């Protein structure tokens, strides 16, 4: 097995592109598999653009080849299984990142069709990759990004990492995965993918790391800075995550739209810190079977996010009716993050630094389009 080869499914995405540059910088050979679904969905379905201009996939491919050893296949990894089997058989990667997912909760709630696309993409890509690994690289390590939204944020106890046991009617249970209660149909598909990885670990000993990640924000990594090869930054209601949306709303002089009271809390981390964690995952595979951890830096309420953005750019807050089912205004929220700490994770970037970076890089001529897409219309 060539231990220097990494397959990145979804390499053209927000996180995938930043990860690819990091891996190339570190000297890995990167095989990218991405059918450009995200680009098409933003442009054609959300009628939006990335607030920060990005290269075409072909220019990006050309530039990545200059930066390191890089190959790209433009194939669907969910509805087709041949491309994954062929890539894995040919390149025998030691590590595989599966980021080729539909990553948006609102998108999965548009209608039956979008919900089905979410489920098939996120579950089938997992299914395809585990079977291809079993056949061609049974000792390789699969890294997938799940979501903190797989858990119920209002569960009212610490959200543990990995195995968990509980007492019921005087009996102590065996260890099982920490209880899930997904916050959207998207998150339900991620829960399902997590169970596939756990099952493949128990049935076949397939090595996987399943990352329960918080909300990622910002656009900065040292490799992006060095090469100028930006990753995308979306602000539309499906693909824009909250820090990025608030930053661009403020830059456009439109109010930051806070859902409900803005008191509900989530875990966040900067893009560069997410990439640091993915590197730690690559360097620390489980010896056998499934491992999982919680991946975030700081917990903020949505109001606190707005205040952080305000302190850098200014701008106004507007409280709007929440399109989501959020049960508790104030709630106990304490995800445990010891595993990454023990591996040496040290967050490097703050919201304020990222907001400054976004302000420096957005293309203001995109505002005409972005003004029409930031207000949420999808509800659940």
Ligand X SMILES: NC(=O)c1ccc[n+]([C@@H]2O[C@H](COP(=O)([O-])OP(=O)(O)OC[C@H]3O[C@@H](n4cnc5c(N)ncnc54)[C@H](O)[C@@H]3O)[C@@H](O)[C@H]2O)c1
The residues of the shown chain that bind ligand X, judged by CB under 6 A, are 10, 12-16, 34-38, 76-78, 99-101, 103, 121, 145, 147, 213, 215-216, 241
Q: How far apart are CA 3 and CA 202, in angstroms?
A: 24
Nearby residues of 339 by Cβ (< 8 Å), 6 or more positions away: 161, 162, 293, 294
Q: Which is nearer to ligand X, 14 or 178 (CB)?
A: 14
**Inter-CA distances, 149 with 96, 146, 265, 296, Å:** 23, 8, 11, 12
Q: Which is nearer to ligand X, 32 or 314 (CB)?
A: 32
CB of 342 to ligand X, least distance (A): 21
CB of 320 to ligand X, least distance (A): 21
Measured CA angle at 68 (ends 63, 69), to 5 deg? 105
CB of 111 to ligand X, least distance (A): 18
Nearby residues of 58 by Cβ (< 8 Å), 6 or more positions away: none
Nearest-CB residue to ligand X?
13
Nearest Cα neighbor of 369 from 262, 275, 240 is 240
CB of 15 to ligand X, least distance (A): 4
Query: DSSP states of 253-289 as a string?
Result: T--EEEETTS--EEEEEEHHHHHHHHHHHHHS--SSS
Q: What's CA 61's distance to the chain center, in Å?
A: 22
Q: How far apart are CA 143 and CA 95, in angstroms?
A: 8
Q: Which is nearer to ligand X, 47 or 139 (CB)?
A: 47
CB of 14 to ligand X, least distance (A): 4
Q: How far apart are CA 101 and CA 175, in angstroms?
A: 29
Q: How far apart are CA 136 and CA 158, in angstroms?
A: 39
112: exposed, middle or buried (Cβ count in 10 Å: 0-12, 13-18, 19+): exposed
CB of 97 to ligand X, least distance (A): 9
Q: Which is nearer to ligand X, 33 or 370 (CB)?
A: 33
Measured CA angle at 289 (ends 286, 291), to 5 deg? 55
Q: Which is nearer to ligand X, 15 or 302 (CB)?
A: 15
CB of 71 to ligand X, least distance (A): 15
Q: Which is nearer to ligand X, 101 or 292 (CB)?
A: 101
Q: Which is nearer to ligand X, 78 or 256 (CB)?
A: 78
φ/ψ of 88, rounded to 5, equals -70, -40
CB of 38 to ligand X, least distance (A): 4
Q: Which is nearer to ligand X, 205 or 304 (CB)?
A: 304
């Amino acid at each position: 097995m060539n231990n220097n080869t990494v397959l990145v499914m979804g390499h053209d995405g927000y996180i995938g592109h930043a990860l690819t540059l990091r891996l190339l910088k570190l000297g890995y050979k990167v095989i990218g598999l991405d059918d450009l679904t995200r680009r098409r969905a933003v442009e054609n379905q959300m009628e939006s653009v990335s607030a920060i201009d990005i290269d075409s996939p072909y220019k990006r491919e050309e530039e990545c080849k200059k930066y390191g050893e890089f190959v790209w296949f433009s194939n669907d990894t969910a509805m087709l299984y041949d491309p994954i089997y062929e890539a894995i058989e040919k390149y025998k990667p030691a590590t595989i990142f599966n980021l080729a997912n539909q990553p948006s909760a609102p998108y999965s709630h548009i209608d039956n069709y979008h919900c089905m696309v979410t489920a098939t993409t996120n579950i089938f890509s997992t299914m395809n990759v585990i079977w291809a690994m079993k056949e061609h690289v049974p000792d390789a390590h699969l890294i997938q990004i799940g979501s903190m939204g797989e858990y119920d944020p209002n569960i009212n106890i610490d959200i543990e990492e990995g195995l968990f046991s509980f007492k019921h009617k005087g009996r102590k249970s065996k260890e099982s995965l920490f209880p899930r209660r997904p916050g959207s149909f998207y998150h339900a598909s991620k829960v399902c993918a997590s169970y596939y990885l756990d099952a493949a670990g128990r049935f076949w000993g397939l090595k996987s790391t399943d990352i329960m990640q918080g909300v990622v924000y910002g656009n900065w990594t040292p490799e992006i800075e060095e090469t100028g090869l930006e990753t995308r930054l979306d602000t539309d209601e499906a693909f824009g995550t909250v820090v990025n949306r608030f930053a661009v709303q403020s830059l456009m002089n439109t109010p930051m739209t806070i859902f409900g009271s803005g008191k509900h809390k989530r875990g966040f981390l900067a893009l560069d810190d997410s990439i640091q964690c993915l590197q730690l995952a690559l360097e620390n595979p489980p010896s056998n079977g499934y491992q999982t951890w919680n991946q975030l830096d700081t917990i903020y309420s949505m109001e606190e996010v707005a205040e952080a953005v305000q302190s850098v750019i200014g701008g106004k807050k507007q409280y709007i009716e929440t399109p989501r089912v959020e049960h508790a205004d104030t709630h106990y929220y304490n995800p445990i993050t010891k595993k990454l700490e023990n591996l040496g994770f040290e967050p490097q970037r703050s919201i304020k630094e990222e907001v400054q970076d976004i302000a420096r890089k957005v293309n203001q001529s995109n505002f005409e389009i972005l003004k029409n897409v930031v207000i949420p219309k999808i509800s659940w």
